[in-house]
Structure 1
């Protein structure tokens, strides 16, 4: 007869409440902006008094920290899945990776801002929550190195190039694809600059 380990139901309930609090904070951020997240509003959405939140999170920044870690953990998983089956051609692989980040970023403005922009002046992620972002960058560097992008400055250029297009899309054409359609051209320019092999992406994809 096997004996099942005792379940810590109190810990399970506590974790469920923490998840509910974080989800409520995301709902507020997506509807009204990250700066609109307040302990009072979060507490109201989960049906508790503001002081009760302190039994789960020490401060509002602690909630932001959980949101930050959750967001980067989600993208790390997306990155691992996408880079496990990239096309072999360097330019096509670069485009696939850039489209993956672009689509993830523009799908959720509040999430992108918390992950990549300093919109909360006094917020600094904890090492634990920051770890998935570090792991994501390490994976990116591994893949880029395999594609022939092996200089730190080139990695920085790639990140800035794709991130800049995301910023322009969100600022000027939210919900559209004006800047997404520039990704093939941008990756061609990047690949040409580094001398990466392969026919131009623009020769196989119509750009309008």
Structure 2
């Protein structure tokens, strides 16, 4: 009971110990450095080229020390997946909306393909199953679901049925895949976006 507390007893506090806070910040900084190194590797050599040994060498630590931050290569992929998904949500939230459905479809698809082509390693990790045996954890996948929910809300705001999401995402990844695979750095499939969105709009609105 409160009435039994000694007057001179130290007050309880929920504040973190300063040393613990500093250690946590150092750990977070090291994790970020590890992820940056991992992204550098996969952007240069592809997702499958990632090894714990190479990551450890880039950040200046022994490979066994890396396990205290990420217990496996898939754990690094999982953290990268979560990070990339958050980047997509933040990016897509900035895409402007108008009162015109077709305009928003075109602008939104141009934005998606731009996001895909500006970092193909990130695109492959987020939107393709290129890593055998890797599945994002529920916590990491939740960030990806936020992006899909955002797309659904934008579509329903213009009166589109929720069932058209699958068709639209298939068109989006198809355009991105073709651009990345067959005309990297060009605009051959980017130039088809407006026509593709017009066909989509006419089909689902008819």
TM-score, scaled relative to structure 1 = 0.88
Q: What CA RMSD, in Å, does the superposition of the two structures yield over aligned residues? A: 1.3
Residue of 68, 76, 79 corresponding to 2:81: 68
Distance in 2 of aligned mates of 1:110 and 1:194: 32
Paired residue total:
190
Distance in 1 of aligned mates of 2:145 and 2:153: 12
Match of 2:157 in 1: 146
Distance in 2 of aligned mates of 1:149 and 1:164: 21
TM-score, scaled relative to structure 2 = 0.89
Q: Is 1:26 aligned to residue 39 of structure 2? A: yes
Runs of 4+ in 1 over 3 A off after TM superposition: 4-7
Match of 1:111 in 2: 122
Match of 2:71 in 1: 58
The 5-angstrom pairing of residues 1-208 of structure 1 reads 7=18, 8-82=21-95, 85-152=96-163, 154-195=164-205
Distance in 2 of aligned mates of 1:147 and 1:116: 25
Q: Once the 2 structures are TM-superposed, how far is the Cα of residue 151 of structure 1 from its aligned partner?
A: 3.6
Q: Helix, strand or coil for the counterpart of 1:118?
A: coil
**5+ unaligned residues in a row in structure 2: which ranges?**
1-14
Match of 1:204 in 2: none
Q: Deviations over 1:152-185 (max 9, x none)?
A: 1x11101101110000000000011110010000
Distance in 2 of aligned mates of 1:86 and 1:98: 12
Distance in 2 of aligned mates of 1:43 and 1:35: 16
Match of 1:202 in 2: none
